[in-house]
Chain A
Amino acid sequence: MNKRMTFALAAVLVVSLLAACAPKTVTVTVEVPVERTVEVEKTVEVPVEVPAKTLVLSSEMFAPPAEQEFFINEILKPFEEETGITVNFQVIKGEDMFDRVTVQQETGHVTTDLVLVFNGRFSWWTDAGYVLPLDEVVSEWTDRTILPAFDRNAVVDGTRYFVPISADVYLTIANNKALDYLPEGVDLNNLTYEQYADWAIAIAEGEGEGKVCVTGVPQKMWIYQFGSSALSYGLNPAGQPEPAFPNVNSEPSAAAWAMWARIGAANGFMPTVLNVDNCVDPLMREEAWLSVTHNARVGQVYASAEAQYTVAPAPSGPAGVGTIAGAHGIGIVKGTANYDAAVQLLEYLTRPEIQVKINKGTGGFIPVVAEALDYLGEDPTDEIIRKALLVLENGVTSYLPISDFQDWGAVKKVFDDVFQQMVLQGDGTVDQALLDEAQARLDALRVEQ
């Protein structure tokens, strides 16, 4: 009896499984309502329930947990309370976001309403036609002016597809202990890279340990730290005639490498520099005293102990203050079922007061709405934003030509390898053969036009 039962149960299990997989034919009885004309003598108020909308905002910005928490709780929650629209905020890598939306566009099942994208990747989205024109939307905003500095690829053939919401540049940050070693007569606000190198070497000699922080872990920010210095030495910004960023072996690049190699040969970098993926922690732990890094990260450190650090613009070179400048912008995904709600969110995020709130709350990004600057106050983050604006307005800035290369991570790796082989393990001189070899690797990564 038991065996029969077991057999029967097994058979039922298999049949159920197969039945679940099989296509179903469903008979549905439909009741067709009969239309009637009813004469109403008095006005009746009928409460209409509007279903709550949920927007999906995918972002490659605000990856650090603290920034995410701030953006969700301090920025999106008030919007949800104001409009009744729920925002599902997802942080995702730029490449993965693009792949995900590609699938949605190909299948016609669009579930992502807005994308918050790094400006180096704007062209992926506009070339693929995945984002909607925003001119009509933007023209209705009379209380704000979007700074044109980041319009490249956000505006294509006169049509705007992305609205930038924040920007970033590179700044110098020093632990005040490092100021004791600042060469005499040097003005921190007009520091040159050669003075920066002298300063770093003086610290290393005085402390018996290097204190300069760059990101030595591959594929992080070294390319931008180096790129900013190379622009200062005369490298052209991306998109301009060669040699232009990114470049390894040109004369301006070699001059920048020589300056970094000088620091390396004097053991001026912190001893564990190859394990650093972000300079915030080493600066806060005082393992590093000196860095030229992303302004939001500088803001994070500075805001943690204002009295302990000094902030200045990025150092300059013969060509001026060079910096890599990035921005993040929002676009509305083609085929979204929530277009009006998406426009509402876009309008909210670009309000001048919200712009300041976002950019201050996430460490000190630069607001990209001109009127937002009126809201800057006197606290440490405001100072970071002012310094960053100074660099943005007066510096030699370059965008990131990500779409010119097969893979930006592989481009970063070329610069990381030169840093390890020539700057850290070298003798303080420039190995032109090594630079030429690296340049060949870089050129091989270019997308054939």
Chain B
Amino acid sequence: MTAQRKSAHLGKRITPYLLVIPVFIYYLIFWVQPVLQQVIRSFLDPTTGQLSLESYRLVLTDPDFIPALRNTAIIVVISVTMEFFIALFLALIIKRDFWGASIFLFLAMLPMALPPVAVGAMWKTGLTTNGWLNSLLHYVGFLPEGEKIYWLAGSTWKMLALIIIIDAWQVIPSVMIILLAGLQNIPKELEEAGYVFGGNYFTVLRKITLPLLRPTIQTAVVLRLIAAIQIWLIVIVLVGFSRLPVLVERIVYYHEEVPRLNISPQMAAGYTMIVTVIVSLAALIYLRLSGAFSRREGG
């Protein structure tokens, strides 16, 4: 009887591990192994195979590194902030369940269904001098006949602004969906209690809704933060490689566009590691600041 119990107890303890093993093996082969390989490669000299920091030296002295870092930071800060507030606003509107809310939700979600290449191509067509955006502005009377706005011509800042707007257009629906799911999970009674005790809409939002939504906000923002650091496809569809360098675009540039340059493997490896560290740090800092760790530690 005791042996039977022991065996049952052992089985209970082992079962979860056994179930996880296939996934673990899969990740070991297809994720951990290439990642480790990349980490090791970034510290090796490709010609001698000796330990070397050359990849990092090359990246840090690359004239495009600082602009890439700056452009990425600008995109991340502005787009994540803007996308979060607009998505929250939309989620709060849809949650009120007004007439036509479902259709509004459906329309708002459409950009999410488009791949980034299609989004880039669509906007590029629209933003050309004789594109649909200028035609629309003419049609509604915002732009006098014969006048044109050269959306795609101009400074780096103008291009950055366009990229942020286009990215926001595509990404806001996904952030909104996450926030909406979080809002719908908040028990109505809690908000009703807030109103009963004299709170107005904004007080209830600030004191009850948003604190309860915090875990969802953390998820949405972390996911968005990581994705924003990894923006590159829209950039190259709009302006091509190298005109507006961003971090991940640099990796693709050295890996795909100039793969036979002597320095390309080192540059691609160096940039990859730097992006990995930045993404990890950004996520950690955000989670730390938002109190995710302290709450878990506190139980």
List residues of A whose CB falls within 8 A of some B CB.
Answer: 3-4, 6-7, 10-11, 13-14, 17, 95, 209, 217-220, 270-272, 274-275, 277, 281-282, 285-287, 406-407, 409-410, 413, 416, 420, 445
Contact = CB atoms under 8 A, between A and B. Distances in A.
What are the 10 closest A-B residue pairs judged by CB atoms, nearest first?
A: A217-B240, A10-B18, A407-B260, A7-B11, A271-B153, A272-B152, A275-B152, A407-B261, A271-B150, A409-B258
B22 A14 contact: yes
Given A272-B152, A277-B240, A285 B128 contact: yes
B242 A218 contact: yes
A217 B243 contact: yes
A271 B149 CA distance: 10
A19 to B, nearest CB: 13
Given A274-B153, A410-B261, A4 B240 contact: no
B34 interface: no
Contact of B18 (A11, A209, A286): A11
Given A7-B11, A14-B18, A413-B258, 19 more contacts: A4-B11, A7-B14, A7-B18, A10-B14, A13-B22, A17-B21, A17-B22, A17-B25, A220-B240, A270-B129, A271-B150, A272-B150, A274-B153, A275-B238, A281-B128, A282-B128, A285-B129, A287-B129, A409-B258
B45 interface: no
7 contacts: A7-B11, A13-B19, A14-B22, A275-B153, A286-B130, A406-B261, A409-B257
B259 A219 contact: no
A7 B15 contact: yes
B133 to A, nearest CB: 13
A217 B243 CA distance: 8
Nearest to B148: A209
A3 B14 CA distance: 11
A403 B230 CA distance: 33
A306 B260 CA distance: 41
Given A217-B240, A275-B152, A287-B129, A10 B15 contact: yes
B243 A272 contact: no
Contacts of A407: 258-261, 264
B257 A219 contact: yes
A446 B224 CA distance: 43
B19 A275 contact: no
Contacts of A271: 129, 150, 153
A282 B127 CA distance: 12
Nearest to B10: A7
Contact of B130 (A14, A95, A287): A287
Given A271-B129, A274-B243, A6 B15 contact: yes
Nearest to A273: B153
B12 interface: yes
B93 interface: no
B169 interface: no
Contacts of A274: 152-153, 239, 243
B8 interface: yes
A219 B241 contact: yes
A354 B176 CA distance: 56
Contacts of A420: 243
A217 B260 CA distance: 20
Interface in B146-178: 148, 150, 152-153
A445 B261 CA distance: 8
Nearest to B19: A10
A286 B129 CA distance: 10
A13 B261 contact: no
A204 to B, nearest CB: 14
Contacts of B238: 275
A409 B8 CA distance: 64
B238 to A, nearest CB: 7
A287 B152 CA distance: 13
B130 A275 contact: no
A445 B8 CA distance: 69
Contacts of A209: 148
B153 A272 contact: yes
Contacts of A219: 240-242, 257
A14 B243 CA distance: 51
Contacts of A13: 18-19, 22
